[in-house]
Amino acid sequence: MTHEQIVRKLCLISAVFLTSPLRAADLQDLHLPVVPRTESERARIAAIVAPTHDFTTAEKFEANSGGAATVRPTKTADAFSQPSGNISFERELDFKVGNGLFRKLWVSSPSSTLASDGLGPLYNARSCQRCHLKDGRGHPPEGPDDTAVSMLVRLSVPDESRAIAEIDAYIATGPDPTYGGQVQDFGVAGHPAEARIIVSYSEASIALSEGEFASLRTPAYELADLGYGPLDPQVMLSARVAPQMIGLGLLDAIPASDILALADPDDRDGDGISGRPNIVWSTVYDQPMLGRFGVKAGQPSVWEQSAGAFHGDIGISSSLHPQGYGDCTEAQVLCRAAPDGNTPDHDNSEISDVGLELVSFYSANLGVPGRRDVDDKQVLRGKQVFYETGCTACHTPKHVTHRLDDQPEQSFQLIWPYTDMLLHDMGPGLADNRPEARATGQEWRTPPLWGIGLTQQVSGHSYFLHDGRARSLLEAILWHGGEAEAAKTRVIEMPKADRAALVRFLESL
């Protein structure tokens, strides 16, 4: 069954006209062909995902981070570019075609290559691969001669006219009236780029136990050479590097009910952790859904995340975002008047539904490499430190995905992503002060940790967090604040050997 058929079927079955704020408990996985769990399965799953108390040896199946979809770890930069380990030969062909579209260089309209025209007119990159190089993590500009090709800056302004009554505690914002929803730092011929992103840093030293020190760099962002006049005086900026792509289909398949069961918005258990779900408006289903993807969980599915990236990052229209001019605003008159690549052959857009489906399939099936050194004594000690420090309060180790029809790669898999998929207040140090749906300016979705130890190998750097400010895993830990302040303090004060073991455990993921 194609994605479009699934959408039509589920919309007929589950169509709901909401007239009051949606309760989180009412959220459904409308994007998935779900086979409901039996009571016996629920009991078995609860036992399987329960946290371990034995750190003398690795847990059963712990090396298989992505369940049966896990791929063999390699020592090359292609470690994140393999298809799901359990994919069939026939479906691997779809994966490879999707990879071709993911890597395709788009060109401006009009062009003789009708299958590839429609770029921009304003854009951040000419292909998905240009940001997600080797399907890995992006980085901020490294000096004045480096571009921000794998980093972007989101924009928004307060706008109560965009309030969504169906979503409780929704924070209404809209795009900057001149520059839209994000800064496009490239333009096709005849169209100036919107701005040039400049990043500078200030350093501060932190004392750790046993005489160790760490240095944290705080970024400052400047938008230089504005091409279309001033920004709105109320504009809010959020810099973000491209995230790694592995395991997205598995995260997409975690039951919303399981994620919601982890939420504790009022901190009723008194552990200082109060994860909340983001609830966003689904363009496909025209109703609220659980937010899953993006650093603030602003998109509900791989499909909608892919369509949004084509629209905002490359300026490529789809059936979800049919505007051939991409993110250009009414103030950018020449941009809106420029030729585009929308054609009847592509469903009156620049990438057809079939093309978007193939890219989404590719994105959903980038395999998670298996763990390394799971039985190493220092890794096991680091795992124990990870648990005892309280890191698992947000970085939930294990989940079991939905049982799914016609989606075997993600169906009923025990996975180890180390995330609860919820929003957490990380304190003022990491705040971008830009809300997104229900996420406040200090809240971020817990990022999955699987594959994090392969970042240097795949991406050629070790920059972490939403904007790449952290230059090591230890720096990333030391940036934690807010709900994670107590855990960070424990890391600062713990014996040096335990701190090293904790990092070694993370490197094994």
* 0.85 surpassed by pTM: yes
* Spatial distance between the Cα atoms of 424 and 303, rounded to a whole number of angstroms: 25
The DSSP call for residue 243 is P
- pLDDT given for residue 115 in this prediction: 79
- pLDDT given for residue 10 in this prediction: 33
- pLDDT given for residue 395 in this prediction: 98
| pLDDT tens by residue, 188-229 | 999 999 999 999 999 999 999 999 999 999 999 999 999 999
* Residues in the chain with pLDDT values less than 50: 1-21
- pLDDT given for residue 143 in this prediction: 78
- pLDDT given for residue 25 in this prediction: 57
* Spatial distance between the Cα atoms of 152 and 454, rounded to a whole number of angstroms: 23
- pLDDT given for residue 23 in this prediction: 57
CA 180 to each of CA 227, 232, 248, 300, 306: distance values in angstroms, whole numbers, following the listed order: 13, 10, 27, 21, 19
CA 457 to each of CA 70, 75, 143, 382: distance values in angstroms, whole numbers, following the listed order: 18, 7, 22, 21
Give the angle subtended at the CA of 466 by the CAs of 464 and 468, to the nearest 5°: 40
